[in-house]
A and B are shown apart, each in its own frame.
Chain A
């Protein structure tokens, strides 16, 4: 099995992805597992583009983080269904197994994990997706000791991959749900600081609001600003 460092930086080109599996794991998300033609290797944290094409050649494209490990024969994406989202609504409501979509990737070399640097992911909502890819890759390479994950969601029904993350030992923080071991509420310094022992890099992924909260929390825990990598998404006012 090759090391993760074997992943070469390549120029990416548009190719075709076929939907092999489609599920709606939470009320607001759609999970697609795609067979991608001529798929290059990817690092955990990278994303793919999906481009939709109308009969008059009008196109709409968006980028989505990859949840799968590079070793998975399929590329797994988890997409939040945004109200009036031109692409996400289409993926959730119209796309069927067997459909072909234009895809391009993997994109991005910054918000990626090398499976060598001890790291903490502080992720919220569909921002858990890159952390899922990191966990799956860590598991395959036997380096789960290097990665700690704090996943934040409203409640268990709204947090994608909650079961998988829980089984992998992630801290699940629900803002509106008391799970019996932890009262409802956002994660605190007291909760996160102990997880940072030995950690050299922090990954923050989530909505703009979540990212602002998470950045401030990590700074309060003493993480240097330069050790924080951020992926924000979603609109602001």
Chain B
């Protein structure tokens, strides 16, 4: 495509760290949601791992906090083109949850469900080996409601719509099935480094 007349753009200060087409949002953290922000009580909160597993398992708020903690310190990338550097989340690794539930051999995909009805699908390989978390702390404080609190899914190597807010269930599946945005024009996998934003990318 030709150069846009008169456009120079910002100084490139993050060469190599920003995926193609992304910009650094700095201290801001835009809130993007498709549904009304729910108020969830941690007394009644639970997370389930089910579907193709040996032991369908669910955790209460206290039970999940008793699991070994795991942190993510790094960058996140939103399909709307902002990236945010050096964010710190704390919660539990999805590996720990899967270890408890025991994925069956034919489990190859996972659907993350939110209490709002939001869904997003991922290959199982994208949520194992230290690549995904369920997190309840951001920057040392409880995760704010508008950012998915009390707890959200976190898959930071993919565009952030995969990191479902208000996550309530991880469903293991044998075959792929599109989630909410994936049915609504967005890419099935969403790798920011391959710029897999929309269907057809």
Task: Show the binding face of A for B, using Cβ within 8 Å.
Answer: 9, 11-14, 16, 51-55, 58-63, 86, 90, 94-95, 99-102, 104, 107-111, 204, 208, 211-212, 215, 218-219, 225-226, 228-237
Contact = CB atoms under 8 A, between A and B. Distances in A.
Contacts of A94: 6-7
B4 A53 contact: yes
B105 interface: no
Contacts of B31: 208, 211, 232, 236
Interface string B1-41: 11111111110100000001101010111111111111000
The 8 A-B residue pairs whose C-beta atoms are closest, nearest first, are A11-B200, A235-B28, A109-B184, A54-B9, A225-B36, A52-B4, A52-B7, A228-B36
Tell which of B2, B25, B35, B80 has the most Cβ of chain A within 10 Å. B35
Interface of B: 1-10, 12, 20-21, 23, 25, 27-38, 80-81, 116-117, 146, 180-181, 183-185, 198-200
B20 A99 contact: no
Contact of B20 (A59, A100, A111): A59
A212 B185 contact: no
B117 to A, nearest CB: 7
22 contacts: A12-B185, A51-B1, A52-B4, A53-B3, A59-B21, A60-B7, A60-B10, A61-B81, A100-B2, A102-B1, A108-B185, A109-B183, A110-B184, A111-B34, A208-B30, A211-B31, A212-B37, A218-B36, A229-B34, A230-B34, A232-B33, A236-B146
A62 B79 CA distance: 10
Given A228-B36, A237-B28, A107 B198 contact: yes
Nearest to A219: B36
Interface centre among B36, B116, B146, B185 (most CB of A within 10 A): B36
Contacts of B33: 230, 232
B186 to A, nearest CB: 9
The DSSP consensus for interface residues of chain B is loop
Contacts, number: 119
Contacts of B5: 99-100
B23 A86 contact: yes
A215 B3 contact: no
B39 to A, nearest CB: 10
Given A9-B185, A102-B4, A236-B146, A60 B180 contact: no
A226 B30 contact: no
